[in-house]
Structure 1
Amino acid sequence: MITLIKNANVYAPLPMGINDILICDGRIAAIEPDITLSGKHVTTVNANGLLALPGLVDALVHITGGGGEGGFHTRTPQMSLTDASLSGVTTVIGALGTDATTRSLPDLIAKCRALDSEGISAYCYSGSYQLPIRTYTGNLTDDIVMLDKIIGVGEVAIADHRASHATVSELVRVASDARVGGMLSGKAGIVSIHTGDHETCLSMLHQAVSESAIPPTQFYPTHINRSQHLLDEGIKWADAGGFIDMTTSTNAQFIAEGEIPAADAVAYCFSRGVCASQVTMSSDGNASLPVFNEQGELVGLEVGKVGSLHTSLAGLINLPDVTLQDAIATVTSTPASILKLKQKGQLAPHNDADILLCEPGSLALSHVYAKGQLLCHQGKALVKGTFE
């Protein structure tokens, strides 16, 4: 399958100007000002006036569903292919959350393989909220080294009443095992951290780094836009050399209670000197968005949306003092770099042909390509999941 995209305004995410993009065998073969190719096996797409961006990399999605804090009937549904593709998400990282009892790592890995077969790229984390962690092989390092889909561990919960309230030494051991697994396999070995709303914030991570040889880049805390206080603490973590992630799925009550919309939180980080290479956004798609009262009782529940990632990106590019390339980086090259997904997040020869063609200003999606296949066109899914 050969596709030639003509006259796109390419943001790779660095701006490259007007270029043609040649796709061959699922990868980008060339990006040049004037590529001439014809024949019955070549599909030519006129991208005049459209931006070309990398496909979005969503670093946290509960692809097999999440939730359950309100009983069995509150377990959220699994993600479908078009939940991602219609919003320009071409790579997802799956995770377990609160529930590692009725949700399992074998199911998570199987869902990754299913999404791969259906058209996008999927990876996952070993473990869940709890420590000691649950693994597939019985050993975290072995999980990362031997299982191609597993790239790290998480999301391990801290500062949350649903966490295991583990010791710092337990967290350091997990980070060490993940780090060694990453080194041996060439993967990230990252520790994805679910950060709750307790006043301890990121203190456990600071303590883990200060009391060990583990660098701050081994931890990847998310939900940093949960409150202004946590956001400011997240900036301190970034100043110490770490990465931070904002959650795009939210609801009106969360915002009323002090959560910062993800785009606003990223813009605030930029204004405080945080580099685009240190801050990301992820959807927390298909997670439960539980609302608890002061007694810790569940009083409401909604479901996170993968599509919120694209919506937040579209909002971010229109905020003051935010460059288009920095905004795009937060959902493409930066998460791909943190997670060591070398073929993802950038438009470059030999990378996977995950490409979005979209309208300037609104980022309304015209074409969504994943691994060279046109999945969506003008808001319609051309390829659907097996049971959609």
Structure 2
Amino acid sequence: MYLSELECTVLEVKVIEGLGTTIDVVLSNGVLNEGDRIVICGLDGPIVTNVRALLTPQPMRELRVKSAYVHHKSIKAAMGVKISAPDLEKAIAGSRLMVVGPDDDEEELMDEIMSDLARLDDAIDKSGCGVWVQASTLGSLEALLEFLRTSKIPVSGINIGPVHKKDVTRASAMLERAKEYAVMLCFDVKVDKDAEDMANELGIKVFKADIIYHLFDAFTAHNAQVVEQKRKDQAALAIFPCIIKIGKGLVFNKSDPIVLGVDIVEGHLRVGTPICIVKTNSETKAREIVSLGKVTTIKINDKPVQIVRRGDANAGFTIAIQHASHESSKMYGRHFDDSDVLYSRITRSSIDVLKETFRADLTKDEWKLVAKLKSTLGVE
């Protein structure tokens, strides 16, 4: 049903030889006139300009085929129309077009036309971490942002239209903040050759697709690789929480390496974990952290393993502890005995690594143990 109230949507922004930058629009309702003052959404703010020409293709020809156009003084809906006007370079495909009437407040229309784009800003993660997203039209950008939101993929910045070097520059901020998000998801847009070269040089991944799910799959695969590499890089810095007890009479070598039969009281133990005990000075009551060294081997029934959890070895297991080169070696019977509790020597930096990279590797009880060890070992 035809309505007199104007309804018009920008489909595409094109440069046409002899006309300059034009916009192809669908006029769904109302009338457009040559000379009308129009307001459309722009990348750098609202665009207010006057219609220079209203054009339609010659009969029996498509709008996108280059040919002579028919000029109109006025066009009534419903029609596809090419509009020639000044200052259309930054126009956003998918946005509404509004006409400034005699009783309209131009400033109000400018605010209203930009509300569509302002709403998209709510999709940007407030922490500043996330992927860069670029799409061909306002509608496709909205669809992609909604998909990313439901997929719990944060977004740091957005743009509409072809990808240029300035977009790569803005996306490159993630290289320092969160490398796994140094990614550009480009939906149905062209990527400028210089921009692509710049992205490759900086180490920013650019994923292009015409189907949203393909972008998601590409990012998910990339993210899994980045996370796995990060885990490998930070594995040596991660110290997992553990409390172990020496078994009675299970001391097989008293010093360097110290070989003990032990049981896990809480947490889990990994090869490479630094081990310490806590001694209290009988006179000053001050606590002293005594480092014993790092676990170099773990054996269950004489078979080496990398990780052992409470309950994995019902009859207990043996560990070898080697002192670090910068520390003095410790001896069972002189520096500690089987009445001492052995702790994994967590640090502030190791806790940060666990939170950032290995959060899912710890159970709720093990996170409680981290808090307990912080207190026991005086970690700030």
Q: TM-score range by the shorter chain?
A: under 0.3
Which structure ranks higher in relative contact order (CA pairs < 8 Å, sequence separation ≥ 6)?
1
Q: Which has the larger radius of gyration?
A: 2
Per the normalisation by structure 1, the TM-score is 0.21
Query: Which has a greater percent of strand?
Result: 2
Per the normalisation by structure 2, the TM-score is 0.22
